[in-house]
A and B are shown apart, each in its own frame.
Chain A
Amino acid sequence: GENVEQHPSTLSVQEGDSAVIKCTYSDSASNYFPWYKQELGKRPQLIIDIRSNVGEKKDQRIAVTLNKTAKHFSLHITETQPEDSAVYFCAARMEYGNKLVFGAGTILRVKS
């Protein structure tokens, strides 16, 4: 079955710096890769996603890159702000599949 590994488990950056979180997946049939942000005590919320027919996607300060050959994808946050502090989860899903398989999460702390 699908397995998703996520690194690092914790990441501390200074406000204004960039943050990068990386994930690898095992099932080559996966072709949808969302990223969720979960603040303490709150529900996971989708912040960006990418399909396998696209190599990169940007939305303001957030970008995701995908390397299908290597089976890894990354989240890039530029100009980090204290409100970016949260747990970030990557996930993978097969075409028209059902379940999302999540990574273990990355705790991001942005120090002001």
Chain B
Amino acid sequence: DTGVSQNPRHKITKRGQNVTFRCDPISEHNRLYWYRQTLGQGPEFLTYFQNEAQLEKSRLLSDRFSAERPKGSFSTLEIQRTEQGDSAMYLCASSLEPGTTAWNEQFFGPGTRLTVL
């Protein structure tokens, strides 16, 4: 499968614990995005990377959230001191960079479903 992959697919944790998710984008894609999706809602933007640079962060991304893309390939999203309100599906997407052919489409991964007890 050459699409976007995410691990783990499911994570159950207790309130106050730290969790880390991984996203592997499509190999030639420079841009990588993180979204959060709660039940009955559309995905909400969290942050995005152009190669290894984190260029935009949403106000939704509190200081408990940190994302990295150290080598411009895979990315990790860490949530510290999880709260019940963090329970959601965390989606990763990737795309080519602007100006390239077909850069518009964002390809989504299967998501990581987080449940905070």
Interface residue ranges, A against B (CB under 8 Å): 4, 6, 32, 34, 36, 42-46, 49, 51, 89, 91, 96, 98-105
Contact = CB atoms under 8 A, between A and B. Distances in A.
Interface of B: 4, 31, 33, 35, 40-45, 48, 55-56, 58, 91, 98, 104-111
Given A43-B110, A99-B56, A34 B105 contact: yes
B55 A98 contact: yes
A64 B98 CA distance: 23
B44 A102 contact: yes
B6 to A, nearest CB: 9
A101 B111 CA distance: 18
A43 B42 contact: no
**From DSSP, what is the main secondary structure of chain B's interface residues?**
loop
A38 B45 CA distance: 17
A29 to B, nearest CB: 15
A23 to B, nearest CB: 10
Nearest to A4: B42
Given A34-B105, A99-B56, A104-B40, A43 B45 contact: no
A89 B44 CA distance: 12
A91 B42 contact: yes
A96 B40 CA distance: 28
Contacts of A32: 104
Contact of B41 (A44, A46, A51, A104): A104
A103 B111 CA distance: 18
